[in-house]
Amino acid sequence: MPVTPNAVNPVLHVSDLNAAITFYTSVLGFTEEFRWEDFYAGLHFGTVDVHLAMGSGPFNRPIGGANLYFTLDSPGDVDAYYVDIVAKGAHVDKGPKDYPYRIRDFVAFDPDGNMLSFGAETSA
């Protein structure tokens, strides 16, 4: 019988778990779902779950090397979200832009340099 996964939960490695949780919840609008001890947390955003980790030993990974793409419902949502998070202090590469491959998006960075893109399909 084939096994079919129904979700994937990326784990972003961060240098300071508390600071990362504060950024993701107060700037980007995520909700903290759980925290395990002082090195792991689960966050929720729409229908997406993202985990944050401060690893050691075999769980240690490079900090700030992730690149996630979040698909929003509409180009208008992309623009509104951009305005909202910039007002809250998010570090962004540039404002939302339409691309020839029918996507409007922008890139933001968390405090550790993880790249977070937010976009939606355009009609043209």
Q: Please write the tens of the pLDDT for every residue from 38-51.
A: 899 999 999 999 99
Residue 6 belongs to some domain of the structure = no
pTM (predicted TM-score): 0.91
Supply the range of the domain harboring residue 68.
Answer: 11-55+64-121
pLDDT-derived band at 124 (thresholds 50, 70, 90) equals low
Residue 98 belongs to some domain of the structure = yes
> The domain spanning residue 32 has which CATH number?
3.10.180.10
Residue 3 belongs to some domain of the structure = no
Residue 78 belongs to some domain of the structure = yes
Model pLDDT, residue 123: 86
43: left (phi over 0), alpha (psi -120 to 50) or beta: beta
- Distance between the two ends of the chain, CA-based, in angstroms? 42
pLDDT in tens, 59-73: 778 899 999 999 999
Residues 51/10, Cβ–Cβ less than 8 Å: yes
Among candidate residues 24, 52, 22, 48, the one with its CA nearest the CA of residue 37: 52
**How many structural domains compose the chain?**
1
Residue 2 belongs to some domain of the structure = no
Residue 5 belongs to some domain of the structure = no
Residue 88 belongs to some domain of the structure = yes
